[in-house]
Structure 1
Amino acid sequence: MLPKFLLADNSLETPDTIFVVHTETPRFIVEADIEDFWSNQEIHWIDGEPGDEDLISELIEAAEEFLEKEFENEELLSEEDDEE
């Protein structure tokens, strides 16, 4: 079973951009600046954009929460490495 969200980058072509991929229907990719993910998002719908604005808001919020948790986890891991 695939995870619900994946992080992706294309550092050779777009080094300042991060992508959050939603793997469940409706599938989509959130593209944004890695330093300011919350204000300049572009959504790429793989399965077509759903007509329900509430659903879209929930999906984008879930993607943002996923990314926040990933960043927090990376910070914790780097702090542990610094302590060693």
Structure 2
Amino acid sequence: MLPKFLIADNSQEAPDLVYVVHTEKPRCIIQCDIDGFYSNQKIYWTDEEPLCTDDIETLMEEAEEFFETELENQEELYDEEEDN
């Protein structure tokens, strides 16, 4: 089973952008700036876009929380590696 969210990038095409991939329905890929989730944001729906704006808002909040937590975890891992 896939995680609910994944982070992807493409440093050759768009080095300043990252993508948060939502793997559950409604599936989508959220493009954002590496420095901020709502900067340069664009949503690419791979399933039909939900009609309910509350559902989209909830999905975006969950994606932002995942994104921020994942970046913090990566920073901690890199700090630990540098200390060793």
TM over 0.5: yes
Give the CA RMSD over aligned residues.
1.0
Match of 1:60 in 2: 60
Higher strand share: 1
Match of 1:81 in 2: 81
Ranges in structure 1 where 5+ consecutive residues have no aligned partner: none
- The answer to whether residue 69 in structure 2 is matched with residue 69 in structure 1 is yes
Deviation at 1:48, TM superposition (A): 1.4
The amino acid across from 1:7 in the alignment is I
Query: 3-state DSSP class of the match of 1:61?
Result: helix
Percent identity over paired residues:
56
- Runs ≥4 residues deviating over 4 A: none
Size of the alignment, in residue pairs? 84
Deviation at 1:39, TM superposition (A): 3.2
Ranges in structure 2 where 5+ consecutive residues have no aligned partner: none
TM-score where L is the length of structure 1: 0.93
The amino acid across from 2:45 in the alignment is W
